[in-house]
A and B are shown apart, each in its own frame.
Chain A
Amino acid sequence: MDDSNPSPVRRLHLYETILLFAVPVLFVVYPFAVNDYYIDIGFYFGIYALLGLSLNIVLGEVGLFDLGHAGFYAIGAYTTAILNTKLGVPVIILIPVSALAAALFAYIVCSPIIHLRGDYLCVVTIGMGEIVRLALINNFLGLTGGPNGVYNIDFPSFGGSFVIDSSIEYYFLIWIIVGVSIVGLIRLQHSRIGRAWNCIREDEVAAGTTGIDVRYYKLLAFVLGAALAGVAGNIYASKLMAVSPESFTFWESCMMFCIILIGGMGSIPGVLIGAAFISLFPEIFRPFAMYRMLVFGVVMILMMMFRPGGAWPRRRGGADLPSLFSRMRKSHDG
């Protein structure tokens, strides 16, 4: 039984090549072409992109229904807010600290529930998100400021000389972080870790009997997803200079969920499309603000009917970039 034939190296479609170069250029040029209001829209697009990427690890790669992701976002934001206002820790140092705090929280909270499947896990994560929000409202340990939240958070600064305080600086801060995250996530997708995640999504029992430690990789997804959400929380908190519980409602978790559903499970371009939709949609439909939710609902239903895989489903096989590059490298070596 031998039918070896080398797989043809499929080339990227023309539109993909164009997008690959045009999109980053567009992102760099955009803030110089518009006023602060539109730059801020671009900033929130970036926040949702980061949140989408973080939920995409859990929901898209591993298929775990997590409807409490705003909880991790909140932990990151409040870690930054509290440590900065009470102890004066610089915001820039608090980026990794917030990521670690959210990751640790995810590890502790998810360890006992990680074996739950599908809907059951979903319900527990909803509860987790709500408990976080209620704890914040109830002025947990006297630190969270109750319904008013925490305010007077500093701007991030690099040693005092360069302070990020304008819209355009925030825009670049968030998109550089999104860009770095995308590089990391693409590397993960094309590693044994990414494959292990996908195997678990496809068939948990088969993943176990193929040698994958299901529990470990599920927890890793939650911890990494929470860490990225924690980073988003940090940037958000310093941008607004204040945090309050109303930013971290169940609705926020739903929005992140929608980003993945709209874009396509496990698809990074899909996350960007979904995040663009979520953040730009309210702006475009501002004149019809009354009907916004109606249109939103109709769009979601139409998506599920006609494009259940999302706007840009993940493509697998020989056509993706990293495997293309690795084959190119190989052919140069040989």
Chain B
Amino acid sequence: MTDERRTTHDVVLETKKLTKIFGGLTAVADFDADVRAGEIYSLIGPNGAGKTTVFNVVTGIYRPDHGNVIFKGADITGKKPHEIVRFGIARTFQNIRIFPHMTCLENIMAGQHCRTSAGLWSTLFATPQKHREEEKIRETAERRIRQVGLARFRDELARNISYGSQRMLEIARALATEPALLVLDEPSSGLNAGETDALMKFLRELIANENLTILLIEHDMNVVMGISDRVAVMDEGRKIAEGRPEEIYNDPRVIEAYLGSEDD
């Protein structure tokens, strides 16, 4: 985490008055946030606060009822998930969603889909361009699988590797889409202490070495406090606080949201 990175305040992702309503329930209300280039921005809050809904709106799984999502100056509100990936936002899921009956390498190769273009005819006629592109896909995937330390499982079906490895595989697949913003939904859930430490180390190295910004939902306070540059707290669909981790840690509103106020 260099000073240079802290001083560049280019906003990568901006949400403006984002609102999502399910039936009578307002899951997210007027959510404003700005995620700056090169930072790790964490979203925390009690269960049902609307964190994952924000993620789903940003990554195009839900269309917001009001508000906008601006990514690198472009309005991507209501775009489809695959279009948003092409803009440069990749995500992982709280409950891992890998492709279980494909090999680990194939899982990661799938991430390169949006950066390649071989169509039906060039595939059927096996053109040289298609071959070159396939080589590029394979090289990128090989690089990413080494990066997450799963190269020995290259040809193993993804469903056969451990839960912790599947999580890293999912992150590698997201990285293979060549994102500018990586959106991680509770990456440490289900991991043991050792795996969580390794994950934190991995994310720190990632942000230091690549031109990347990370948006994170996390329940593990050690992770949040350990790697975040800024933290936003959500409760009942609204952002109730935002700031550096140590500020958030002592904020009475945050303590109230998590533990209830003294009057209760």
Contact = CB atoms under 8 A, between A and B. Distances in A.
A5 B146 CA distance: 9
B258 interface: no
Nearest to A7: B154
A209 B99 contact: no
A210 B173 contact: yes
A195 B109 contact: yes
Contacts of A210: 85, 90, 110-111, 113-114, 173-174, 177
B134 interface: yes
Contact of B102 (A192, A195, A208): A195
Interface stretch (A160-168, A212-220, A236-244): A212-220
B123 A202 contact: no
Nearest to B125: A187
A196 B120 contact: no
Interface string A192-232: 11011011001101111111111000001000100000000
12 contacts: A2-B147, A3-B146, A7-B155, A187-B126, A202-B101, A210-B113, A211-B86, A211-B111, A211-B114, A212-B114, A220-B120, A316-B103
Contacts of B130: 191
Contacts of A224: 120
Interface string B143-186: 00011111110111100000000000000011001000000000
Contacts of A20: none
Interface in B89-123: 90-91, 93, 97-103, 105-106, 109-116, 118-120, 123
Contact of B149 (A2, A220, A316, A319): A2
B59 interface: yes
Contact of A206 (B99, B115, B147): B99
Given A2-B146, A210-B90, 19 more contacts: A3-B149, A5-B152, A184-B124, A191-B118, A196-B110, A202-B100, A203-B99, A207-B99, A208-B61, A209-B59, A210-B110, A211-B82, A211-B111, A211-B115, A211-B177, A212-B113, A213-B82, A224-B120, A316-B106
A1 B82 contact: no
Which among B112, B113, B198 has the greatest number of chain A C-beta atoms within 10 A? B113
Given A191-B134, A213-B82, A205 B61 contact: yes
Nearest to A266: B101
B61 A193 contact: no
Contacts of A308: none
A220 B123 CA distance: 14
Contact of B91 (A199, A209, A220): A209
| Chain B interface size range | 35 or more
A320 to B, nearest CB: 10
Nearest to B149: A1
B202 interface: yes
A187 B125 CA distance: 8
B27 to A, nearest CB: 18
Contacts of A4: 146, 151
B5 interface: no
Contacts of B103: 316-317
Interface string A289-326: 00000000000000000000000000011110000001
A91 B204 CA distance: 66
A270 to B, nearest CB: 14
Nearest to B170: A206
Interface in B202-239: 202
Q: Which 4 A-B pairs have the closest CB atoms?
A: A211-B114, A317-B155, A1-B149, A211-B85
A331 B109 CA distance: 21
Contacts of A199: 99, 102, 110, 113
A196 B110 CA distance: 7
A176 interface: no
Given A192-B113, A198-B102, A206 B93 contact: yes
A12 interface: no
A188 interface: yes
Contacts of B152: 3, 5
Contacts of B57: none
A195 B82 contact: no
Contact of A203 (B97, B115, B118, B151): B97
Nearest to B81: A208
B244 interface: no
B147 A195 contact: no
Contacts of B106: 195, 198, 316
Given A2-B146, A3-B152, A188 B82 contact: no
B14 to A, nearest CB: 20
B80 interface: yes
Nearest to B124: A184
B137 interface: yes
Contacts of A316: 101-103, 106, 155, 157
Interface string B40-74: 00000000000000000001110000000000000
Nearest to A209: B81
Contacts of B124: 184, 187-188
Contacts of B93: 206, 209
Contacts of B110: 195-196, 199, 207, 210, 212
A188 B114 CA distance: 17
A326 B59 CA distance: 36
Contacts of B111: 210-211
Nearest to A329: B131
